[in-house]
Amino acid sequence: MQPYEPQPHQTGPHVDPYAQAGWAQPQDATYGSPPPYPAPPQYGSYPGAPTPPQYGASVPPNVPPQQQPRGLSPFGMPARHSWEIPMLIVVVLLTVLAYAIALLLLATGNFDQYVLLFVFAPILIWLGRGVLYSTQRVNGVKMSPTQFPEGYRMVVEAAARFGMAKVPDAYVVLGNGQINAFASGHGFRRFVAVYSDLFEIGGAAREPDALAFIIGHEVGHIAAGHVSYWRQLGMFLGPFLPFVGNSLIRAQEYTADNHGFCNRHAGAAAAMGTLAAGKYLNTLVGFDEMADRAAIEKGFFVWVVNAMSSHPVLTWRMWALRDRSRHGKLWLRPAPPAGAMPPQAGYPTGYQTPALPPKTVP
């Protein structure tokens, strides 16, 4: 059965919202009551906060998501961040200029290690990608129907969700307490690696929705072309351009977040909570409370930390995942809605601290 063939209606905390019969057609600027699917995180819990968008009437169920318009809603194909292509053009042009200067210096005999680095960049990138891919092949646990089947199914479903002709390989690598995942490739092969701490003992996903979001994020990097050899060759100067290069990478991360949100929007809050506090304390993270701080935490060094980071800072990233009416901020912090203020009674939480067993008296 195809991953997105209409299925009978299901219920439960981890139901796949895309398995229900019918697809919704997003509309641009219509707000109203929440739609009848698991709603994405609310845009704040304070007075005056806008309600989630009403995505409109459903369309015939035989319309696949690949034929829906691109956007920031959970439906259709995920949108590319609005600044990604402009920043990519700038970085590629500067990189081509650097290659030309390096070749000129080499031809005139005026070269050093940096000139040689750029001259041999095509070979170095090819070797690095080959070593990285081979490392996963010989050390990683390859996801399959018999090894980490839940993660394997999520990779297959994410690839189908994004209309990919070939499912990327997926590996589980030893995390040693770290929470991470990445995507890369070599030649015509693409792969995803997920750290083992995102799984429970026995191979089940520790947070199924969060893992589906993270896998959708990484498969999204592949679907958006971020791991292409030619793209990485064109972006080779990026690490030497701290502001411009990092801005491009942050835009790519927002694009991948859009893919993760479209793949499993219900896992966005849990995924960000896991990145913020780890796999054991993620339930203590108030998604709205932390996202609201994106508009509150300000100052020159806050701007510097974000500008020099390869990923958007977590508060800005959570704000962007909550507010699906616009793309995530690259340089300037988000602005709160007019008249909005944090709730006076504090933020609600459904987490209950488990009671410790009584100690035995010696």
Tens-digit pLDDT profile for residues 133-184: 999 999 999 999 999 999 999 999 999 999 999 999 999 999 888 899 999 9
Pick the more confident residue, 171 or 206.
Answer: 171
103 token code pair: 């070749």
Which of 22-26, 79-83, 319-323, 344-348 is least confident? 22-26
| Residues 80-106, mean pLDDT to the nearest whole number | 95
Taking the CA atoms of residue 329, residue 331, residue 333 and residue 335 in that order, the dihedral angle to the nearest 10 degrees is -60
**Whether residue 338 has pLDDT greater than 80:** no
Q: Which residues, including other chains, have CB under 8 Å from residue 348's CB and lie 6 or more apart? A: 45
pLDDT tens for 277-330 read 988 888 899 999 999 999 999 999 999 999 999 999 999 999 999 999 899 999
Chain length of the chain? 362
| Residues 333-358, mean pLDDT to the nearest whole number | 61
Chain mean pLDDT for the chain: 81
Q: For residue 63, what pLDDT is reported?
A: 53
* Cβ contact 279:198 at 8 Å: yes
* Cβ contact 207:154 at 8 Å: no
Distance between CA atoms of residues 248 and 260, nearest Å? 19
DSSP string of 108-161, one letter each residue: TT---HHHHHHHTHHHHHHHHHHHHHHHHHHHSEE--SSSSHHHHHHHHHHHHH
